[in-house]
Amino acid sequence: MDKEYMIKQTENWVKEQLEGEGTGHDWHHIQRVTKQAQEIAAIEGADTFIVSLAALLHDLIDDKVVESEAEGIKHVTKWLETIGTSKEQEEHILAIITTMSFKGGNNKPVETLEAKVVQDADRLDAIGAIGIARTFIYAGSKGDPMYDPTIAVREQLTFEEYRNGRSSAIGHFYEKLLKLKDLMNTGEGMKRATARHLFLNNFLEQFHKEWEG
Ligand code: ADP
Ligand code: NI
């Protein structure tokens, strides 16, 4: 299989996986992340084959989609063997998708340029207008309020409240979204994040203004 074809096949496979799991909406996230990642890869000089596959596969080891991360890794490895990536490519792609998730910032930093690009693209989708929309959808699905001034900032919660997962959509801006810009790995990622970060701040300013009346 040539590389274009391997990417195309993977696209179809990932789409099927996500639809099968009843999380069809997330396919659009994957599409957006893959497109951003490919664009950034071209500008930063990263290997677009590795970047494309890692971006397409990056959420398939998440326990929202599969039973466990270990299961997910097995599943993805099998797929890479099916399309015939080399051992080296397979290891690189798996290393990217296992190390890139944010998880409170405690994960070890991603290492290769390709990993940096995919992580930047995933983070970009969490900020800007799309990021705002995703945050409110997520909060709504958990039954969290859009805003509660008393739980707006997670750092100010008591440990018990934190353990109980009290949060709000606006709270998520402070605990994660506003931190992402400074965590960008690449110059192009930073450039794109800066515009989206500004949009977050403008949104928050307007939100608080309207809330206070
Ligand atoms: P990804 O898999 O793309 O890294 P997640 O699955 O962690 O993203 O989250 C999906 C979306 O929901 C993201 O836009 C994220 O910022 C948002 N989100 C995650 N946790 C919360 C939360 N506690 N409240 C509101 N939004 C959240
Ligand atoms: Ni993602």
Query: What pLDDT shows up at residue 46?
Result: 98
Question: Which ligand approaches the C-alpha of residue 129 most closely?
Answer: 1
Residue 100 near ligand 1, beta carbon < 6 Å: no
Query: What pLDDT shows up at residue 162?
Result: 59
Query: What pLDDT shows up at residue 149?
Result: 78
Task: Please tell me the distance from the alpha carbon of residue 153 to that of residue 186, in angstroms, as a whole number.
Answer: 28
User: Over the stretch 58-82, which tens digit does the pLDDT of each residue have?
Assistant: 999 987 778 888 899 999 999 999 9
DSSP letter string, 11-74: HHHHHHHHHHTT-TTHHHHHHHHHHHHHHHHHHHT--HHHHHHHHHHTTTTSTTTSS-HHHHHH
Element spanning 174, H or E = helix 169-175
Query: What pLDDT shows up at residue 104?
Result: 42
Neighbouring residues of the ion ligand 2, judged by CB less than 5 Å: 59, 122
ipTM rounded to 2 decimals: 0.97
Pocket-testing residue among 66, 99, 135, ligand 1, by greatest number of atoms within 8 A of Cβ: 135
| C-alpha 176 – ligand 1 centre gap (Å) | 9
Tokens 């096949």, located at residue: 9
Q: Tell which residue, 104, 107, 102, 76, has the closest CA to residue 91.
A: 76
Task: Please tell me the distance from the alpha carbon of residue 79 to that of residue 90, in angstroms, as a whole number.
Answer: 10
- C-alpha distance from residue 43 to each of 3, 56, 210 (Å): 20, 19, 40
pLDDT at 85 over 90: yes
The secondary structure of 90-157, three-state, reads HHHHHHHHHHCCCHHHCCCCCCCHHHHHHHHHHHHCCCHHHHHHHHHHHHHHHCCCCCCHHHCCHHHC
Query: What pLDDT shows up at residue 158?
Result: 60
Query: What pLDDT shows up at residue 1?
Result: 73
Residue 134 near ligand 1, beta carbon < 6 Å: yes
User: Over the stretch 1-59, which tens digit does the pLDDT of each residue have?
Assistant: 799 999 999 999 999 988 866 665 689 999 999 999 999 999 999 999 999 999 999 99
Q: Report, as an integer, the average pLDDT of 138-159.
A: 76
Give backbone dihedrals phi and psi of 88, rounded to 5 degrees, phi first. Answer: -65, -45
Task: Give the CA angle between residues 203, 205, 211 to the nearest 5°.
Answer: 100
What residue ranges define each of the domains in the chain, with the CATH number in brackets?
Answer: 3-212 (1.10.3210.50)
Residue 90 near ligand 1, beta carbon < 6 Å: no
Task: Please tell me the distance from the alpha carbon of residue 123 to that of residue 111, in angstroms, as a whole number.
Answer: 16
Q: Report, as an integer, the average pLDDT of 206-211.
A: 94
Instruction: Let me know if 9 is exposed, middle or buried by CB neighbors in 10 A (0-12, 13-18, 19+).
Output: middle
Query: What pLDDT shows up at residue 102?
Result: 47
User: Over the stretch 186-198, which tens digit does the pLDDT of each residue have?
Assistant: 999 999 999 999 9
Pocket-testing residue among 168, 170, 172, 181, ligand 1, by greatest number of atoms within 8 A of Cβ: 172
